[in-house]
Amino acid sequence: MSTPSALEELIEALRCLPGVGPKSAQRMAYHLLQRDQQGARRLARALEQAVQVLRHCRRCNAFSEQEVCERCASPRRDASLLCVLEMPADLNMMEQTHAYQGMYYVLMGHISPLDGIGPKELQLGRFLERACDGEVQEVILATNFTNEGEATAHYLGEMLRARGLRVSRIARGLPVGGEIEHTDAGTIAQALIERRPL
């Protein structure tokens, strides 16, 4: 009743952030108003700006301020390799490895029939066009090893092989530094099945 409406609206608006419920939203609002009004103004500007200038790169589908992002435009990257990822965060992790110099395509999701996300919703036609540009020799499927990620990889694999492209899947197994004792049985089983000759 007597909570001011600008405060109520801010708390409500903060709830559009993923993982932020009513309690956290309230805590965030109070924090910003009490201790970081400058941060609040900066965040407001950054949101406006980001929504305005960011779009999807025409080549890799990741966020970019240009029609084709720097990475896709770079002549130094190997255009014969195309790595498919679910989300932009995955792309950041990939780049941090410094182990890959090919191109990327970000699906912005995965196939998930329960959530009503099928090939059409993922705009796989657009991806197919990218993969069949004539330069790509091999598509590396790097979706997650979750049910949805696996289903997506399976679907894409069938689709790409039907068009005569070479397709691979990133390896499953124990993490670097991983110990058998502390690894789940499913991972150990997969690491056995996919063992490599030395």
- Residues engaged in binding its own copies (CB under 8 A): 1-7, 9-10, 12-14, 16-19, 24, 26-34, 36-37, 39-54, 63-66, 69-71, 74, 87-89, 92, 108
Determine the 3-state secondary structure of 80 from DSSP: strand
**29 or 83, CB closer to its own copies?**
29
Residue recorded with tokens 């390799």? 81
Bridge partners, residue 50, by sequence: none
**9 or 158, CB closer to its own copies?**
9
Residues 6+ apart with CB under 8 A from 76: 101
**Max CA pair span of the chain:** 72
Helices assigned H by DSSP within the chain: 5-14, 22-35, 37-53, 70-73, 88-97, 124-131, 147-162, 185-193
Q: What angle do CA 107, 104, 124 make, to 5 degrees?
A: 30
**115 or 158, CB closer to its own copies?**
115
Helix axes 5-14, 22-35, angle to 10 degrees: 120
Minimum distance of its own copies from residue 110's CB (angstroms)? 13
**53 or 189, CB closer to its own copies?**
53
Minimum distance of its own copies from residue 96's CB (angstroms)? 12
Minimum distance of its own copies from residue 106's CB (angstroms)? 10
Minimum distance of its own copies from residue 66's CB (angstroms)? 8
**88 or 102, CB closer to its own copies?**
88
Tokens of 14: 């903060």
Minimum distance of its own copies from residue 104's CB (angstroms)? 11
Bridge partners, residue 85, by sequence: 106
